[in-house]
Amino acid sequence: MKRVLQKIWDERRAIGTYLLITVVLGTVLAVVQDRLKDWAKGWLTDTSAHITLSSSSFAAFPSQHSLEVMELVVYDISASDLVKGIKITAIFGRLTQIIRHHVLYSVDIEGFDALLPQPNQLVLSLKHEIDVKRKVTVYILTKRIAASREDVKLELPEIHVEGTDKNGKVVYR
């Protein structure tokens, strides 16, 4: 009888230990896994910036010995998530001069600083962040001299966007 009771007691203890391990430890591991996923989500997802040439136009005007080419390029800049501290750099060919520039936000806010380190280079520092809903449109008006009609063509700049996402990671495009 003692053996039977001992065997029943051992089986109950084994079942209790099994339930304790699977239910309690399984639940704890599932909670820890969810916490780790949430913590790592910010580090595993990459925020990206998008630069799209939305429109461009150019015209040539005769001068004494050459043609003066005026060009307007318009870029839409957006991001897949929050990006702040945004700097937009546009570099044209060395014979191109940037005449005017402007930034329009997709919402009713304004604010940017502009720096022209060289006549063909523009650096815009936005005063507001962009995200999925808040985008910007950048307008750049340039002029350059063309020696002949064959040289009259659209010249697109090398353009880059740089900023930081909500986790402090650098976003560059």
Say what the pLDDT of residue 25 is. Answer: 74
Share of the chain above pLDDT 70, in %: 95
pLDDT band (50, 70, 90) for residue 41: low
Task: Tell me which of 37-46, 92-101, 110-119, 130-139 is least confident.
Answer: 37-46
**What is the CB-side half-sphere exposure of residue 97 using CA atoms within 13 A?**
7
- Mean pLDDT across the stretch 28-55? 78
Say what the pLDDT of residue 154 is. Answer: 92
- pTM for this entry: 0.74
- Tens digits of per-residue pLDDT, 103-143? 999 988 888 999 999 999 999 999 999 988 899 999 999 99
Secondary structure of the chain in HEC code, one letter for each residue: CHHHHHHHHHHHHHHHHHHHHHHHHHHHHHHHHHHHHHHHHHHHCCCCEEEEEEEEEEEEEECCCCEEEEEEEEEEEEECCCEEEEEEEEECCCCCEEEEEEEEECCCCCCEEEEEEECCEEEEEECCCECCCCCEEEEEEEEEEECCHHHCCCCCCEEEEEEEECCCCEEEC
The CATH architecture to which 49-172 belongs is: Sandwich (2.60)
Say what the pLDDT of residue 42 is. Answer: 57
Say what the pLDDT of residue 65 is. Answer: 87
Q: Where are the domains of the chain?
A: 1-44, 49-172
Say which amino acid occupies 52: T
Say what the pLDDT of residue 43 is. Answer: 58
pLDDT at 67 exceeding the cut of 90: yes
- Mean pLDDT across the stretch 9-24? 78
Q: How far apart are the first and last CA of the chain?
A: 79
